[in-house]
Amino acid sequence: MHKVVPVILCGGAGTRLWPLSRAGFPKQFLVLFGNTSLFQQAVERVNQLGAPDISIGNTLVVTNEEHRFLSLEQMREIKGVNATLLLEPFGRNTAPALTLAALQACEDGQDPILVVTPADQAVQNPAAFQQALQQSIRAAANGGIVILGITPDKPETGYGYIQQSDSVGTYGEYDVVQFAEKPSLEVAKGYLAGGKHTWNSGIFVLRASVWLKALHEFRPDISTSIQKSWHSKTVDVPFVRPNREAFTQVPAESVDYAVMEKCPGSVYPVHMVPLDAGWDDLGAWESVWRANQDGNQDAQGNVMQGDALLADASNTFIYASSRLVGAVGVSNLIVVETADAVLVVDRSQSQNVKKLVHQLEARQREELSLHRKVHRPWGWYDSIDQGERFKVKRIQVKPGASLSLQKHHHRAEHWIVVKGTAEITNGNKVLTLTENQSTYIPLGELHRLANPGIIPLEIIEVQTGSYLGETDIVRFEDTYGRS
């Protein structure tokens, strides 16, 4: 019986899918097609790999502190799947992330086969995906490393490539001759014509011990520094946190550069199993347009999501999230609307959205990181209006949840309950307010908002003061460990 541990690498930012994907809510947590997020789809796919000779163990999700509650909340929506969340203090690319998962998988003295996948890819044919991964698991059982390769259908310059041998193994695996960097267009055309190269999917299968040994051989600096951080970790189920101070010494490196590219011809055999399952890494808006074409495309090649109208348009993708979007007489455009930003880009230039992201970063614009509606572990808030010395928020608190006990140095707040029941700590007083009742929190007063009811609590918050930014919060107690 092959014991398998799914590993979901969930640390990407997805900047090319701005304005929908942002640092505070990146693309893996978005529902870009279907009814579940990319992260949820990835978790469900790898938990469906069981067979008479394959058992699936506890899922390991490698993410960061900022996204821990997003990951946990979306995991809770997946029935029958248990997960441990490994929280990186800050991103160090995929090699350290996989090492944390391998160390966790070996904690009980076992040496399972790891099925490692990014959290932000699309797969249109789950059955074909399942078959390819099951082949890969069997091929990796004896100590090899198996990578899924995508047969190219165009001379793509945005992917790394895998060169394969002619020989085919027992489970349909090919030996990997070498890995190739992202090529020029002419080189990519040669790869396509030669038929010996596949795209590197970033999905691979190997035993935990194989990864740890190979990493220690090829990059002992990463191996040693991660081990130090791991040995002084803290555990707060379902969260596991490597030591933050020790983690600062961990070099940032990808799985490919750290180990995979060094394996061909070494004592660590690398194989490739072809994957033909409608795979896409959704690296840009054009990819999202392609992923949504099946069943959603009109006769002119247009795809629309949300409240959108088109006239005399062709091959255009509109994603409307909060209002009506109309377009007339356009072609080959991508239009993405959110509550606080609109993107218009030629489809052929969708990879260059990162240029706008760089401008947002240089100007320190809030739209780089946060949406107007911001999700928090206790619920969410939506900044619906603001002006000089005031801001208005709509706040929803989940049943049984509460915000931190806090105060502000630069603002006062007025709270009006519009739905549900609020328990409010306001200085030395504890108030219970219901619909249409309100209270005033003076500047500097200690306060807390909680929902003791069984339905969501909604309030309107009016802030007034000299500074209304999110950094003006001093927390004294917090259920979510942020104080």
- pLDDT 10s per residue in the chain (483 long)? 999 999 999 988 888 999 999 988 999 999 998 899 999 999 999 999 999 999 999 999 999 988 999 999 999 999 999 999 999 998 999 999 999 999 999 998 999 999 999 999 999 999 999 999 999 999 999 889 999 999 998 898 888 999 999 888 888 899 999 998 888 999 889 988 888 999 999 999 999 999 999 999 999 999 999 999 999 999 998 999 999 999 999 999 999 999 999 999 899 999 999 999 999 989 899 999 988 887 789 999 999 999 999 999 999 999 999 999 999 999 999 999 999 999 999 999 998 999 999 999 999 998 999 899 999 999 999 999 999 999 999 999 999 999 999 999 999 999 999 999 999 999 999 999 999 999 999 999 999 999 999 999 999 999 999 999 888 999 998 888 776
The model's pLDDT over 27-65, given as tens digits with 9 standing for 90+, comes to 999 999 889 999 999 999 999 999 999 999 999 999 998
Per-residue pLDDT at 38: 96
CATH for 2-280 is 3.90.550.10
CA dihedral of 240, 40, 131, 60, whole degrees rounded to 10 = 0
List the domain boundaries for the chain: 2-280, 285-358, 373-477
Per-residue pLDDT at 470: 87
Domain 373-477, CATH 3.40.50.2300 — does that match?
no
Is cis: bond before 264, omega within 30 of 0? no
Per-residue pLDDT at 158: 84
Per-residue pLDDT at 480: 82
Per-residue pLDDT at 216: 96
Per-residue pLDDT at 153: 87
Per-residue pLDDT at 34: 85
Per-residue pLDDT at 13: 80
The model's pLDDT over 288-344, given as tens digits with 9 standing for 90+, comes to 998 888 778 999 999 999 999 999 999 999 999 999 999 999 999 999 999 999 999
Per-residue pLDDT at 483: 65
